[in-house]
A and B are shown apart, each in its own frame.
Chain A
Amino acid sequence: ILNVEQSPQSLHVQEGDSTNFTCSFPSSNFYALHWYRWETAKSPEALFVMTLNGDEKKKGRISATLNTKEGYSYLYIKGSQPEDSATYLCAFTSGTYKYIFGTGTRLKVLA
């Protein structure tokens, strides 16, 4: 059974701080790595899909990097705002498995 691990489990930061989280996944048979943001009482919202080693994606103050050889992805948030408070999920897809999600990093940005 493949495992996707995210760290830390939860995080409290002050408004304006920059932060990052990690998603670790199996490095074999990799196909894609997805990042989602899940705000309370809403649906998970797609942030990025990354497929190539060395991929870097950016959306406003949020960016992500991918290392498929060592099996990790980082999500960065620059200048965190209270509206960034959410659970950030990563999901791994491979040639064999479709969408294995991590348990998420719960971010709380304090005003």
Chain B
Amino acid sequence: KAGVTQTPRYLIKTRGQQVTLSCSPISGHRSVSWYQQTPGQGLQFLFEYFSETQRNKGNFPGRFSGRQFSNSRSEMNVSTLELGDSALYLCASSFSEGRGETQYFGPGTRLLVL
């Protein structure tokens, strides 16, 4: 079974631009979560989508948004990029949205904002 894939793997943007990251979950998984990791910080939860609906949201500004399509693929968008948005963005999929579900992570997208 193919794992979680994320595109692109690396991205360089400038302040003020916007960016869209993509995540394809494991086949059959309907829940996709997004995380941000910056140096010295643990994985910070951004949001979770299940069956095309946002089910949980972390403590991030409204510049961070996402969506999920009917095939469970998910996109995350960051508008008006700031230097502090430079980070590794990971997505993870799970079969359902239960809190005991194991999450399977993708390789991440490394975003650099100049």
What residues of chain A have their CB less than 8 Å away from a CB belonging to chain B? 1, 4, 31-32, 34, 36, 42-46, 49, 51, 89, 91, 93-95, 98-104
Query: Complex formed: what's the CA distance from A42 to B59 in Å?
Result: 26
Could you pull out 19 A-B pairs where Cβ atoms are within 8 angstroms? A31-B100, A32-B100, A43-B4, A43-B90, A43-B105, A43-B108, A44-B105, A49-B100, A49-B101, A91-B43, A98-B33, A98-B45, A99-B33, A99-B103, A101-B42, A101-B45, A103-B41, A103-B42, A104-B42
Minimum Cβ distance to chain A for residue B100 (Å): 4
Query: Complex formed: what's the CA distance from A104 to B90 in Å?
Result: 16
Number of B residues whose C-beta is below 8 Å from A? 25
Give the nearest-CB partner of A93 in chain B. Answer: B99
Q: Determine which of A4, A43, A49 lies in contact with B42 in the assembled complex, contact meaning CB atoms within 8 Å.
A: A4
9 further contact pairs, Cβ within 8 A, besides A34-B102, A98-B56:
A34-B103, A44-B90, A89-B42, A93-B99, A98-B33, A98-B48, A101-B35, A101-B42, A103-B40
Query: Complex formed: what's the CA distance from A36 to B104 in Å?
Result: 10
Contact A31-B99, Cβ < 8 Å, known A98-B45, A104-B42: yes
* Residue of A1, A46, A51 with most partner-chain B CB within 10 A: A46
What residues of chain B have their CB less than 8 Å away from a CB belonging to chain A? 3-4, 33, 35, 40-45, 48, 56, 59, 90, 92, 99-108
Complex contacts, B41 vs chain A, CB 8 Å: 103
Minimum Cβ distance to chain A for residue B44 (Å): 8
Contact A93-B3, Cβ < 8 Å, known A42-B107, A43-B107, A98-B45: no
Contact A32-B99, Cβ < 8 Å, known A43-B4, A103-B41, A104-B42: yes
Give the nearest-CB partner of A1 in chain B. Answer: B59
**In the complex, are the beta carbons of A49 and B102 less than 8 A apart?**
yes
Give the nearest-CB partner of B45 in chain A. Answer: A99
Complex contacts, B100 vs chain A, CB 8 Å: 31-32, 49, 51, 93
Minimum Cβ distance to chain A for residue B29 (Å): 13
Give the nearest-CB partner of A92 in chain B. Answer: B99
**In the complex, are the beta carbons of B106 and A43 less than 8 A apart?**
yes
